[in-house]
Amino acid sequence: MTGDDGHDGAAYLSGSPVRVEILRALRREPRRPADLTAAVDATRTTVQRILAGFRERDWVVKRGAAYHVTPTGTRVHEAYEGLLDEVERADRFGQFAAELERVGADIPPAALNAGDLTVAPDRNPLAAVDRITELLRKGSGTEIRAVSPVVIQQFNDAATEALDAGAEITLVIDRDVAETSVDSFESATDRALNNEDATVYVSSEQIEYGLFRYEDLACVTAYDQRNNPRCVLESRDRAVTEWADERFASFLNDARPLSDVLEDA
């Protein structure tokens, strides 16, 4: 069988939802054509034509009056359902994955297998900001490690609450963010410089996505090209948490304490 033959078979199955429904129904139990007509809401002629197409491809066989799925048909159906799952996952995670790929984050594919995703739609553009803020507050009493390409008041307020509740925070920001923080958030900058539980570093490289780690949770934030938070992934998958730890260590390794940067300025 050639690659074209395989493509023809895939196109045949995907070309009609009724074909998929019939194959799915036969996998549950062998059925007669009349039973399939009622089960999939199709005419008997349509059902007979589809069954003939399945038999031609050896996906089903007729035994007595009923049709049975062959092992080949079972594998084809399982592969098709897996493809549908992947397409659905791509629809769900598409914007998140695209924004991170755009900036070369190299997040592991396992990140798309599980986890909770918050997306900021046009009708609620602050959804991602609100979720990050909520997670910061939940980090009270823990060791928080974060990387951020932006400084906004909501994050500063949530970090202050977490510090007041006993959190220890290590934050890496880029130089542009440091300048914004000094100019627009003087009190927060002073606290970062004077609180022994808060340590802020300035990255030597541009930061284009966000990281947030505490306990067994890793959060990854995708930003659009205007530096607006668009998607937040929360995951406890080991591959994701290890990737987040490696990326945080890389940013931290190339960063300088905020106090040193301000002294130089």
Q: What is the pLDDT of residues 199-227, one digit of tens each?
A: 999 998 889 999 999 999 999 999 999 88
Parallel/antiparallel/unpaired status of strands 60-63 and 209-214: unpaired
User: In the 8-state DSSP scheme, what is residue 29?
Assistant: S
Low-confidence ranges of the chain (pLDDT < 70): 1-6, 180-193, 265
pLDDT at res. 129:
94
- Output the pLDDT for position 195: 75
End-to-end CA, the chain = 69
251-254 long-range Cβ contacts below 8 angstroms, 24+ apart: 251/147, 251/172, 251/201, 251/203, 251/205, 251/207, 251/211, 252/170, 252/172, 252/201, 254/203, 254/204, 254/205
Neighbours of 46 (CB within 10 A): 17
